[in-house]
Amino acid sequence: MIDEVSALAALLAGFSSRRILCVGDVMVDRSIYGEVKRISPEAPVPIVRVARESSELGGAGNVVRNLATLGARVAFATAVGDDRAGRTVVDLLARLPGVEPYLRISKARETTIKSRFFSMDGHHLLRADRETVQALSAQDEADLDRAVLGAVADVDAVILSDYAKGVLMGNFAGKVIAAARKAGKAVIVDPKGADYGRYRGATLITPNRSELAEATGAAVDSHEAIVAAAHQLREKIDVAGVLVTRSGEGMTLVTGDGVHHLPAETREVADVTGAGDTVVATLTLALACGAVPAVAARLANVAAGIVVGRHGTAVATPQDIVSALNLNSNGADQKVATRAEALVRVMEWRRQGLKVGFTNGCFDLLHPGHVSLLRQARSVCDRLVVGLNSDASVKRLKGPERPVQTEAARAAVMASLSPVDLVVIFSEDTPLALIEALRPDVLVKGADYTKATVVGAEVVESYGGKVILADLVASHSTTATIAAMKTSRKG
């Protein structure tokens, strides 16, 4: 497992030297969060009091966002309307490093906007779409054609991100694939619709289970049926491989060399929005770096497992993926979460009537004092959340030579301990903001503190929670251990 992690991490390191061409349907994903406290008197629907909202690139734009986050340089060709949302696309693309966009501004189109409404605790309430669904005009297609065909020779791979809004309808997809094959470039397609003939000759195609059924007309109600349908599709449109994404059941890769099934990453799902974009971006970069399809799919599966644990149109960084790989190697990946993920997990525990505890620290070099603190903390609650200082905050608190271990390594150690149910890395010097967000029932610190000096004590007690000071194990300290090691070296 360690050798595999090292190999995949080395593959990730090569992403920054790759340039990818992405062609497809861009959109704006708006997320609107609000409080839901009552039902409308006009109809049996919730009233949402909007508290905050944000906009991100969606569709093919989210593929580009994932590619940029993974460190790649990106050429992006798409069409937008001459409207406010189109200008939002321009602004959002300008914020991404290494992205060279070619946007065809079309008077005949409306830029797609998907607005998703959520309660403050992340429950999805409603989605509203504004869009144009029609093929590009001859003039729009000719303009994009020139831009795309001019870029093919200078990239390492090509992605077609089809959201069935019009950019890849008609003959355009076929022309891009033909140009890429002539230039010896791999083409990876995230497909839509029932007619996959326009993707003929692509290298690899990534339908989900329902898309595979629509494209083949075959049953996909078992593993064997999915494999048979994927073989049928592969032969029908002359592609080297089909990667079927199967939601909670993982992925199945079917190539001429065989069948590979990748189980889903074992973590709680918060939101599947955009997970397919993460898959196609990671998969393409891995293939562009020389990985065989099975290895590329493995890395894409890990990345997908990260983003489905986050709300909204999320992305995975190389650091996220490396941390997940390290955690997967010891089976503790479910226990490490972002702040947003932790909030969802804690709310679910509360719905089950469980008492949530919290403690925090740097936990740089684990010693018996740490273990005792964690055991005592877990004994006064049903689920224990550990707040872990990030590397940057440890340096600010402890000095430039600390931490000895990275935050990923410290999180992996914490997550492997049986008293710990969840680990959340925080970047601030104190866990106050994390405590305010999670609102634990019990806050536990060592008896070297007083209630007056425990960060977050007033917050917890303000809503009826308890602050508990755990007994100390004498003569154990990370700082003292490091000092003793330095003395030993000098001796």
pLDDT at 475: 53
pLDDT at 482: 46
Domain boundaries, the chain: 2-315, 336-490
Whole-angstrom distance, CA of residue 124 vs CA of residue 337: 20
pLDDT at 489: 47
DSSP string, 96-149: STTEEEEEEEETT---EEEEEEEETT--EEEEEEE---SPPPHHHHHHHHHHHH
Fold of 2-315: UDP-N-acetylmuramoyl-L-alanine:D-glutamate ligase (3.40.1190)
Fold of 336-490: Rossmann fold (3.40.50)
pLDDT at 474: 62
Helical axes 275-288 vs 60-69, angle rounded to 10° = 50
pLDDT at 312: 63
pLDDT at 311: 63
pLDDT at 272: 74
Successive 10-residue mean pLDDT values, the chain, 491 residues: 71 93 96 91 92 93 96 97 96 96 93 92 86 92 92 96 94 94 96 93 96 94 94 95 89 93 70 85 96 93 84 78 69 74 85 92 89 93 95 88 83 88 93 95 93 94 94 61 47 49
Burial bucket for residue 403 (CB in 10 Å: 0-12, 13-18, 19+): buried
Contact 324, 334 (CB under 8 A): no
Whole-angstrom distance, CA of residue 475 vs CA of residue 369: 8
pLDDT at 14: 93
pLDDT at 1: 46
pLDDT at 2: 47
Q: Tell me which DSSP letter residue 421 carries.
A: S
Sole residue written with tokens 């078992």: 222
Contact 251, 245 (CB under 8 A): yes
Instruction: Give the active site residues.
Output: 277
**pTM of the predicted structure, to 2 decimals:** 0.69
With residue 179 as reference, give the H or E element that holds it: helix 172-182
